[in-house]
Structure 1
Amino acid sequence: MTSIFDDIKSAFSKGNNALHQLIFINVVVFAVLIVVRTIMTLSGSGSTFGYLMTFLQLPSNLQLFAYRPWTLFTYFFTHLEFFHIIFNLLNLYWFGMLIREYLGDKRLVNLYVLGGLAGGLFYLLTYNTIPYLQLRADRSFMMGASGSVISVMVAAATLLPNYTFNLILLGPIRIKYIAAVMVLLSISGAVGSNAGGNIAHLGGAILGFFYIQQLQRGTDFGRPVQAVLGFFSGLFKPRSPLKVTYKNPNRPYTAAPNPSMPVSSGMAGHPSQIEIDQILDKISVSGYESLTKEEKQKLFKASQK
């Protein structure tokens, strides 16, 4: 048991580890829910467990959602089926590695969270406005990270459309085609038994595409996500002790830079945001293969921030 807690502490204490943290959270929530469901079912409280799950799943009913607004966030960390979570986490790992390598951990988290929110909002919107879905909205709930995952998938395909994965039996396939097939399957499934999940896929896919398009134009609309996460993480970090410094009144402080000192555009060893944006623009036009060795190194360094 001590080893498990040590693993949890290690997973969240290391920097540049967002992909593993997202996977870890999903696995832990899944494991806890499976254990609780088994215990409650064996004890004859299976219906109570089903009721408790409505506090984690996203309801299509707007009145119920108004009393449980947090479900717009909790639903995309919630799974109850083994193959559901395995499929989602494998895709998150494969495509998340690309986003993490070329855009960094923070933007991977942005895509996951914003994709989940977009998928949930799209689900609520369509189930309360489209007649076909309104007829099926009674007691409809949604859970799973599919919207978040397909957001990461489409974002990777938009950023690196010609990057190839070697698939079993199929060989090398460009990820833009993989993403396109997933979107088409989601469109066709919007009138099936899992309409809500496929609707969430489409919301996440739109978000992933739009996010990269705007990022290449120099706008990162995932900054509010980082601001919120930074606020909550700061609540759990110990404050550093205050430092008292002595200032000589005969040598007043001046903010003017020393002309003999070089001025850096960013952190030492890291490229500036302007350089990164230019490299991303080049990737979108000519593909990753067109980058020089120096540009690839700059992109890698930026991902380590």
Structure 2
Amino acid sequence: MDVLENIKHRFKHAGIVEKLIYVNLIIYFVTLMFDVFSKWFKTGENIIVKWFSLNSSFDVFVSQPWTIFTYGFLHANFIHILFNLIALFYIGHLFKQYFTSKQFLNFYLLGTVSGGILFLLGYNYIPLFKNQLVPLVGASAGISAIFIGIASYIPNYQLKIRFIGFIHLWKLALIWVLLDLIQLSGNNAGGHFAHLGGSLFGFMYVKYASNKQFNIFKPFTDLFKRKEKPLKTVYKSGKKPTYSTATKRKSKTQQEVDLILEKISKSGYETLSKEEKEFLFKQGKN
């Protein structure tokens, strides 16, 4: 009981990245248990994989629409989940330095959906893959969305890699995408379709969604908004209005924030001075 309570305590107080890792691990071990039972009782296919992996057939998908989400929490084997969760840990914590927990979860889930959609399109409309029944599992599409998203947001951020040195994030993102593209005709084409779908979502979300609201559907909703002309204000004295002291102060503060964010984009968060970090933290709380 103490062990169970300890696990509950750790999960409750963990960050969103760790919680997502725990969820993936729990589902992986549950899948392993069902795999053992299916072999014991000779039931054939693992029921967890059967009902929660994403099948390349549109007919199967229509009967199991939830699989567009659930496949992102299943893994084929230990090596598969090990590398995915290591990537999720490091990429996730870098992402969380600039975005919220809610945005992190959005990237993971919507990146998973985007990867699933491209997987289905590839296996149903590209002649090389037509009529192939292939199940898709893995968190890679969601991780790709997170990685390409943060790389699009701070492309000039530099990571230090052992034996190589510092390398810009956009270069790593480019290698990430190119590796998927050149392996599309290989044995794991479905997985690479999913990676590319997640990567595309991550890029589009950061580049074209509203940075303040983070609403990817904003371009579409704007079409249905009624544009109203601003009211004109007439000043009897004939003098132009002047900015208040508070407005000037706010404008100056925003300029300082913009300069610090530009510095982060070019050189990374670690290059900020203690005063700049404290100033950015205070503004984030306002």
TM value normalised by structure 1: 0.72
Written as runs of structure 1 = structure 2, the 5 A alignment for 1:134-283 is: 134=130, 137-215=131-209, 217-221=211-215, 278=258, 282=262
User: Paired residue for 2:34?
Assistant: 36
2:24 to 23, 26, 34: 26
Distance 1:174 1:94 in 2: 16
Query: Identity of counterpart residues, as a percentage?
Result: 29
SS at structure 1 position matched to 2:98: helix
Asked if 2 retains the 8 angstrom alpha-carbon contact of 1:18 and 1:105, the reply is yes
SS at structure 2 position matched to 1:103: coil
Distance 1:56 1:127 in 2: 18
Equivalenced residue count is: 252
SS at structure 1 position matched to 2:112: helix
Post-superposition offset of 1:296: 3.7
Distance 1:210 1:276 in 2: 28
**CA deviation map 1:136-179 (0-9, x unaligned):** x4321100001001111111211222223332332332222222
Instruction: Name the structure, 1 or 2, with higher relative contact order (CA <8 Å, separation 6+).
Output: 1
Asked if 2 retains the 8 angstrom alpha-carbon contact of 1:276 and 1:302, the reply is no
**Which structure 2 residue ranges, 5 or more long, are not aligned?**
218-245, 247-252
Task: Give the letter for the 2:49 counterpart.
Answer: M
2:101 to 97, 102, 105: 105
2:5 pairs with 1:11 = no
Distance 2:4 2:216 in 1: 32
Task: Give the letter for the 1:133 counterpart.
Answer: F
Post-superposition offset of 1:104: 2.0
Asked if 2 retains the 8 angstrom alpha-carbon contact of 1:33 and 1:80, the reply is no
Label 1:21 to 1:156 Cα distance change in 2 as closer, same or farther (>3 A). Answer: same
Deviates more, 1:103-112 or 1:190-199: 103-112
2:80 to 79, 84, 89: 84
Task: Give the letter for the 1:32 counterpart.
Answer: V
Deviates more, 1:209-218 or 1:152-161: 209-218
Deviates more, 1:152-161 or 1:274-283: 274-283
TM value normalised by structure 2: 0.76
**CA deviation map 1:122-148 (0-9, x unaligned):** 1112222221221xx432110000100
User: Paired residue for 2:92?
Assistant: 96
Post-superposition offset of 1:302: 7.7
1:57 to 53, 59, 80: 53
2:76 pairs with 1:69 = no
Asked if 2 retains the 8 angstrom alpha-carbon contact of 1:104 and 1:304, the reply is no
SS at structure 2 position matched to 1:20: helix
2:118 to 117, 122, 147: 122
